């Protein structure tokens, strides 16, 4: 069958297509897909969608089905329009039934019977809006006529595939938003593994690598993601739209979140087990997890007998944060017949329980104090407790459990109290019904490996600023041990008793010293990267001191204090009261801090923002407050959020600068789950040793050259000799990126002084190799911020520009190259770069040159695989240059325009047409006449239709099938020459 040939034909370029065809997706060629779309200006398979609407909603008329398709097609090409498309897919939209005189839900996809749907995969999906530049997606997945996922393929030999794909998605949003109007998911693959994310949120932070076990093949990972039933679940449940800082955002749940949600909803339906602990590390999206689980339970009224979900938080600040998430994610719940209530007082909570309320209840844990025993005996009440490691310790948990004796209670925490094996603390309360002590765990190490969070590096401040070790042990660790500190409030009570430590940390002369150090470190290491910082002080009075001290070293607008208020401050602590932000101003500061281009750059805090505040641009925490265990982990996790700036520069780590000494002995400071934490928090001194070793080894492996050669010859021999092999390039790129990552983190430092020259040469070599073998020639764009600054001024002077010359692909240039020094390989790459440039600049000529480029690419491939020598490859390229010259002369002699000659060239290379003795020159002249007759065919769809009809006249003598083929080929040439 033709379809099988199609799949085989794309096995090399698009193995994903082959893999998904094996699990039930139907392949369509580019031409077949464009026919279903009725042209490149459209995105939907209208006929397929209309047919499915009538099949799933038999009460609709043909006119109503068409009207629904028109409505979907007319949705704006924005994130809001994309959200509306998903609402149609999920069956959340209605249409008026003329017979029953009521609005009825419209089913677009049958989620209960996956086999009832149409699953199509196609490729080379080009969108060409009228009067605008088009774009092309490599692979498109379509369900029931609606595009649902777009895939970009990158060369596995090239580095930075993910970052390049993210930039490409951003470009689609700007240039052809129509391409992303309907698709919900965005995939990137380089044939070895792949990443997934959502459309309309083009940020590296929101794209995840699909997890594969070490022995799992790429094929099985692809099939696991696109397996029809599971893929439908992704569309139905795992994609979320929300509002952040006034803007609509979008996300897709990651595998650990989906796994946990499935376990939660199963536990809530289990009549034998009523407890569970979700142990997911800080920053891994627990809020999305618990809210999605709550939504699934409340929407499935039959399975859970119209149950109640109670979301429990433990402090006013966290309630405010959770309230915002609820508004973002569950705003449509009430419209879907699910009630939402917030218990603002103990009385309100008691009344809701007494009234047997069904729906979602949000309450602070403190509201359960003295709630009546057995307030509700129902077993379909499901209590989700956020930050459970501290919420239910002591009496409040007892009140809750006594009030709801039959409820299923699920605790969510990143830092459980106690020991899983010892069945104490959080594990004793929530985990006794599970063998491991928890229902689901997502560790710090897993999170870092997945890219969900970043590793945290730490450095010790100068010893004259840190607390003496003996005092820290005696006054802080001993007190914290006895109190079993689990939150900031308990920590503050401990510090109130540690009088000597507080006096040391808040001394005026020390505050001045630390402030000066912070100002210098921030100015040199954080601000140049456009990142931000938190300064954590021991108390509010010291926060105020730090603000005044920092203002002496940095512009005042760079920093703000954020701490809680106290009515007595005006009298007892006037300086604290003077700097206190109003509630409105604090909200403005919180939002502005998340944006790299807005002030402030440093927030000075002591308790607020240490939990629950998510600012990915936050890079550095200056820690000047003793902490341990849960509070410490929660605080330093503020800096572990992934972040990519507008230029594509990626935040690699979070940094903690310790002014206390609490991180000096990690096992003591992080007693909790120390085995899990190992490797997640690393001393910068260890990293410095690693950099010394790596950069020395890289210099030996890559920078040794023949001293007899000139600098230009040395560079060219290395680039085109040592790195002609793609595998050698890949190894070098990986080694260099390891060094670059360390350099970006550690510089500036006096310890790097002796390595600057070596690192600069390595960076220049990396830029030269990337430049020589890439199609774009953008060598500095692949370098990180500090490295780019180091070499950008000297890059041209060091010969990098000469490596990637763009020269004309013609006979005269070829002859002049024969007399030039340098390796043949370099000349070949430069010639090919010139051919690509000529094709980019002249779309009409590109049609003629494409075949030459494909053969030139094969020459390059043979050269890289050592199938031919440089001289032999040069001879092959020379033959192509001559062939190009002959084509140029033929074009001149024909008297045709560039477009006309492109039509003649295309038709004359089709053996089936030449056998019919078709006069391709005459056809081309007729096409030129028709183009004059229909000058607006690109912008005017009616003219385009009439042009296509008229193209049948010059080929009318051909048999039917060949006539259609000829017209399609002519239209393809015209579209290629007009659309670029």
**Spatial distance between the Cα atoms of 22 and 18, rounded to a whole number of angstroms:** 7
Long-range contacts (CB closer than 8 Å, 24 or more residues apart) made by 702-711: 702/732, 702/735, 702/762, 702/765, 703/758, 703/761, 703/762, 703/765, 711/798, 711/799
**Least confident stretch, 260-264, 416-420, 797-801, 952-956:** 797-801
Concatenating the DSSP letter of every residue in 674-720 gives: HHHHBTTEEEHHHHHHHHHHHHHHHHHHHS---TTS-HHHHHHHIII
Is 470 part of any domain?
Answer: yes
| Domain shared by 49 and 151, yes or no | yes
| Domain shared by 430 and 464, yes or no | no
| Domain shared by 397 and 274, yes or no | yes
Indicate the residue among 618, 653, 676 that finishes a domain.
676
Mean pLDDT, the chain, whole residue set: 79
Is 863 part of any domain?
Answer: no
CB neighbourhood size of 508 (10 A): 9
| pLDDT for the residue 799 | 44
For 656, the enclosing helix (H) or strand (E) is strand 654-658
Q: Which residue has the higher pLDDT, 127 or 399?
A: 127
Over residues 622-677, the pLDDT tens digits come to 999 888 767 787 788 888 888 877 666 778 888 999 898 887 766 565 555 545 55
The whole domain housing 350 covers: 253-450
Closest to 137 measured CA to CA, from 152, 122, 120, 121: 152
Query: Phi/psi at 420 (nearest 5 deg)?
Result: -60, -45
Over residues 850-880, the pLDDT tens digits come to 666 666 566 666 655 566 565 666 666 666 6
For 383, the enclosing helix (H) or strand (E) is strand 381-385
| Domain shared by 90 and 188, yes or no | yes
**Spatial distance between the Cα atoms of 542 and 539, rounded to a whole number of angstroms:** 5
**Least confident stretch, 249-253, 392-396, 472-476:** 392-396
Q: Is the pLDDT of residue 511 over 90?
A: yes
| Domain shared by 386 and 531, yes or no | no
| pLDDT for the residue 11 | 39
| Domain shared by 44 and 75, yes or no | yes
The pair of structure tokens assigned to 2 is: 């033709």
Q: Which residues contact 670 (CB under 8 A, 6 or more apart)?
A: 628, 629, 632, 633, 677, 681
| Domain shared by 392 and 260, yes or no | yes
Is 824 part of any domain?
Answer: no
Angular region, 373: left φ>0, alpha ψ -120 to 50, beta rest:
beta
Closest to 767 measured CA to CA, from 717, 738, 729, 724: 729
pLDDT confidence bin for 12, thresholds 50/70/90:
very low
| pLDDT for the residue 4 | 29
**Spatial distance between the Cα atoms of 417 and 394, rounded to a whole number of angstroms:** 12
Over residues 84-112, the pLDDT tens digits come to 999 999 998 999 998 888 999 999 999 99
| pLDDT for the residue 650 | 76
Closest to 615 measured CA to CA, from 632, 636, 638, 599: 638
Is 871 part of any domain?
Answer: no
Closest to 805 measured CA to CA, from 896, 720, 927: 720
Over residues 917-964, the pLDDT tens digits come to 778 778 878 887 888 888 877 767 777 778 888 888 887 877 777 888
| Percent of residues, the chain, with pLDDT higher than 70 | 74
Mean pLDDT of 769-775: 70
| Domain shared by 143 and 218, yes or no | yes
| pLDDT for the residue 793 | 54
Is 951 part of any domain?
Answer: yes
Closest to 10 measured CA to CA, from 27, 26, 31, 24: 27
**Spatial distance between the Cα atoms of 744 and 742, rounded to a whole number of angstroms:** 5
| Domain shared by 199 and 314, yes or no | no
**Spatial distance between the Cα atoms of 97 and 61, rounded to a whole number of angstroms:** 9
Q: Which residue has the higher pLDDT, 582 or 336?
A: 582
**Spatial distance between the Cα atoms of 339 and 491, rounded to a whole number of angstroms:** 38
Closest to 830 measured CA to CA, from 806, 866, 861: 806
Residue with tokens 């990098």: 800
| Domain shared by 47 and 180, yes or no | yes
Beta strand spans in 446-499 (E): 456-460
| pLDDT for the residue 3 | 31
The pair of structure tokens assigned to 381 is: 């009440």
Indicate the residue among 628, 648, 676 that finishes a domain.
676
Indicate the residue among 432, 450, 468 that finishes a domain.
450
| Domain shared by 95 and 78, yes or no | yes
| Domain shared by 350 and 408, yes or no | yes
Q: Is the pLDDT of residue 679 over 60?
A: no
| Domain tally, the chain | 5
Supply the CATH number for residue 393's domain.
3.40.50.300
Q: Which residues contact 675 (CB under 8 A, 6 or more apart)?
A: none
Is 651 part of any domain?
Answer: yes
Cis peptide before 411 (omega within 30 of 0): no
Is 415 part of any domain?
Answer: yes
Q: Which residue has the higher pLDDT, 68 or 476?
A: 68
CB neighbourhood size of 228 (10 A): 16
Is 619 part of any domain?
Answer: yes
SS3 654: strand
Over residues 289-323, the pLDDT tens digits come to 988 999 899 989 999 999 999 988 765 444 445 55
The alpha carbon dihedral of 296, 301, 303, 306 has a sign of positive
């Amino acid at each position: 069958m033709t379809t099988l040939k199609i799949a085989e034909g794309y096995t090399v370029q698009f193995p994903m297509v082959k893999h998904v065809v094996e699990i039930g997706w139907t392949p369509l060629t580019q031409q077949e897909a464009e026919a279903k779309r009725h042209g490149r200006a459209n995105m939907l398979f209208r006929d397929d969608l209309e047919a499915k609407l009538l099949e799933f909603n038999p009460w609709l008329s043909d006119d109503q089905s068409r009207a629904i398709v028109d409505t979907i097609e007319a949705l704006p090409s924005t994130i809001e329009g994309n959200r509306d498309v998903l609402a149609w897919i999920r069956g959340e939209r209605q249409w008026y039934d003329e017979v029953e005189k009521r609005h009825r839900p419209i089913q677009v996809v049958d989620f209960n019977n996956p086999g009832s749907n149409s699953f199509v995969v196609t490729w080379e999906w080009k969108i060409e809006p009228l009067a605008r530049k088009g774009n092309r997606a490599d692979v498109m997945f379509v369900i029931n006529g609606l595009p649902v996922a777009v895939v970009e393929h990158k060369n596995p030999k090239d580095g930075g595939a993910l970052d390049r794909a993210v930039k490409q998605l951003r470009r689609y949003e700007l240039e052809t938003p129509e391409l992303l109007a309907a698709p919900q998911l965005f995939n990137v693959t380089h044939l070895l593994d792949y990443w997934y994310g959502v459309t309309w949120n083009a940020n590296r932070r929101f794209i995840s690598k699909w997890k594969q076990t070490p022995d799992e093949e790429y094929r099985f990972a692809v099939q696991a993601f696109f397996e029809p039933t599971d893929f439908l679940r992704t569309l139905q449940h795992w994609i979320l739209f929300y509002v952040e800082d006034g803007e609509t955002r979008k996300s897709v749940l990651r595998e650990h979140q989906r796994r946990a949600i499935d376990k939660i909803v199963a536990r809530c339906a289990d009549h034998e087990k009523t407890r569970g602990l979700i142990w997911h590390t800080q920053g891994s999206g627990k809020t999305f997890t618990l809210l999605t689980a709550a939504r699934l339970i409340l929407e499935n009224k039959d399975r859970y007998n119209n149950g109640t979900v109670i979301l429990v938080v433990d402090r006013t600040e966290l309630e405010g944060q959770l309230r915002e998430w609820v508004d973002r994610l569950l705003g449509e719940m009430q419209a879907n017949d699910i009630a939402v209530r917030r218990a603002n007082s103990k009385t309100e909570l008691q009344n809701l329980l007494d009234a047997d309320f069904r729906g979602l209840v949000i309450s602070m844990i403190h509201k359960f104090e003295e709630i009546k025993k057995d307030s509700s005996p129902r077993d379909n009440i499901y209590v989700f407790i956020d930050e459970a490691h501290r919420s239910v310790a002591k009496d409040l948990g007892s009140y809750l459990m006594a009030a709801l004796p039959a409820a299923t209670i699920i605790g969510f925490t990143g830092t459980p109290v106690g020991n899983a094996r010892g069945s104490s603390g959080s594990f004793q309360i929530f985990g006794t019904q599970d063998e491991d002590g928890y229902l689901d765990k997502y560790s710090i190490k897993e999170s870092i490996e997945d890219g969900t969070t970043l590793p945290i590096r730490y450095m010790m401040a100068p010893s004259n600023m840190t607390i003496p070790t003996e005092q820290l042990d005696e006054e802080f660790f001993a007190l914290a041990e006895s109190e079993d500190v689990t939150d900031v409030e308990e920590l503050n009570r401990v510090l109130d008793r540690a009088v000597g430590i507080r006096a040391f940390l808040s001394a005026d002369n020390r505050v001045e010293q630390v402030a000066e150090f912070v100002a210098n470190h921030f100015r040199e290491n954080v601000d140049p990267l456009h990142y931000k910082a938190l300064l954590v002080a021991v108390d509010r009075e010291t926060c105020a001191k730090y603000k005044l001290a920092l203002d002496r070293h940095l512009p005042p607008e760079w920093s703000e204090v954020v701490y809680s208020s106290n009515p007595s401050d005006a009298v007892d602590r006037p300086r604290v009261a003077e700097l206190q932000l109003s509630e409105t101003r604090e909200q403005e500061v919180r939002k502005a801090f998340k944006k790299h281009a807005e002030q402030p750059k440093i927030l000075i805090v002591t308790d607020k923002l240490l939990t629950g505040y998510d600012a990915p641009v936050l890079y550095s925490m200056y820690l000047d407050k003793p902490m341990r265990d849960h509070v410490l982990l929660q605080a330093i996790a503020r800096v572990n959020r992934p972040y990519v700036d507008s230029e594509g520069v990626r935040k690699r780590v979070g940094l903690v600068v310790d002014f206390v000494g609490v991180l000096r002995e990690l096992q003591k400071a992080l007693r909790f789950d120390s085995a899990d934490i190992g490797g997640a928090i690393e001393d910068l001194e260890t990293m410095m040793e690693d950099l010394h070793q790596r950069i020395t080894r890289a210099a030996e492996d890559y920078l040794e050259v023949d001293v007899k050669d000139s600098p230009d010859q040395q560079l060219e021999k290395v680039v085109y000799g040592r790195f002609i092999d793609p595998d050698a390039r890949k190894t070098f790129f990986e080694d260099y990126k390891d060094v670059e990552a360390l350099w970006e983190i550690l510089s500036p430092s006096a310890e790097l002084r002796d390595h600057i020259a070596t690192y600069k040469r390595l960076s220049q070599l990396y830029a030269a190799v990337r430049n020589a073998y890439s199609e774009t020639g953008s060598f500095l764009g692949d370098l990180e911020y500090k490295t780019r600054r180091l070499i950008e001024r000297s890059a041209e002077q060091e010969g990098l520009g000469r490596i990637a010359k763009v020269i004309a692909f013609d006979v005269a240039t070829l002859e002049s190259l024969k007399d030039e020094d340098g390796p043949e390989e370099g000349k070949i790459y430069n010639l090919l770069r010139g051919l690509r440039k000529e094709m980019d600049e002249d779309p009409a000529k590109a049609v003629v040159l494409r075949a030459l480029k494909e053969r030139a690419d094969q020459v390059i491939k043979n050269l890289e695989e050592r199938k031919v020598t440089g001289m032999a490859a040069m001879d092959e390229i020379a033959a192509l240059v001559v062939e190009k010259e002959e084509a140029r002369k033929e074009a001149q002699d024909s008297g045709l325009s560039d477009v006309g000659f492109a039509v003649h060239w295309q038709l004359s290379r089709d053996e089936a047409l030449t056998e019919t003795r078709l006069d391709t020159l005459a056809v081309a002249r007729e096409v030129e006449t028709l183009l004059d007759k229909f000058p607006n065919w690109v912008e005017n769809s009616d003219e385009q239709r009439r042009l296509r009809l008229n193209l049948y006249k010059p080929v009318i003598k051909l048999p039917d099938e060949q006539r259609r083929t000829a017209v399609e080929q002519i239209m393809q040439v015209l579209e290629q020459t007009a659309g670029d």
